[in-house]
Amino acid sequence: MCTHFAFKTIQLSVEILDHIFSFLVSHRETLITCSKDRVLSPIVERHLYYHVIVHFGHETTDDSNYAFKPDCLSKLISKNPRILYYVRILQIRVEFKDCPRRKHPYMKLLDEFANTLLMFPVLECIILTYSMDYDMEFPDVFQAALVDRLSCPTVKELHLEGLGGQRIPFSYLTIPEPFTFRNIWRVH
């Protein structure tokens, strides 16, 4: 348990605390508890928001501590903009079911999310995970924002995955010519 008292008696540098918290990335509940301490919060947040999932459609309970609906993530960023600098892995999970893709309400939400996507300055990895109920095309505004983020020098990986873990053809994205993936060294 993290308490302010414990850190009053033991003086540790920010670098050491940061290193300690880096081992707790898989222990979300501990990081959440520690983030409530006003002294530790700036250090812990770096690890708490390292990998963020934004989901369009059905929520999953296994990653509920760092998975957000698009509007909730936007509100969180509005309250605490420094979170944008902590996110290194952004997973965009889309689950389309029982609706023609062009008329699906999540298509509009993806376009609206494009503005938020453009705000992440230091992403290293983007993961697109979506259902394979039918062939899918991402909306134009969203794709333009995605291409913009892929051209950032910090982005090194792009993953295209189906919800069942299957790989998705890269052709599902419309990438404008003469775009090159000079920074991307891994495309899955």
Extents of the domains making up the chain: 1-48, 49-187
* Rg of the Cα atoms in the chain: 18
Q: Measured between alpha carbons, how far is 69 from 16 in angstroms, rounded to an integer? A: 33
Query: What is the pLDDT confidence band of residue 4, given thresholds at 50, 70 and 90?
Result: very low
The residues pairing with 129 across neighbouring beta strands, listed in sequence order, are: 93, 161
Q: How many CB atoms lie within 10 A of CB 85?
A: 13
Give the model's pLDDT for residue 25: 74
Q: What is the pLDDT of residues 64-97, one digit of tens each?
A: 557 899 999 999 999 999 999 999 999 998 876 6
pTM of the model: 0.77
Q: What is the pLDDT of residues 129-157, one digit of tens each?
A: 877 555 566 788 988 898 889 888 888 88
Give the model's pLDDT for residue 135: 55
Tokens for 33, please give them: 């508890």
Give the model's pLDDT for residue 178: 47
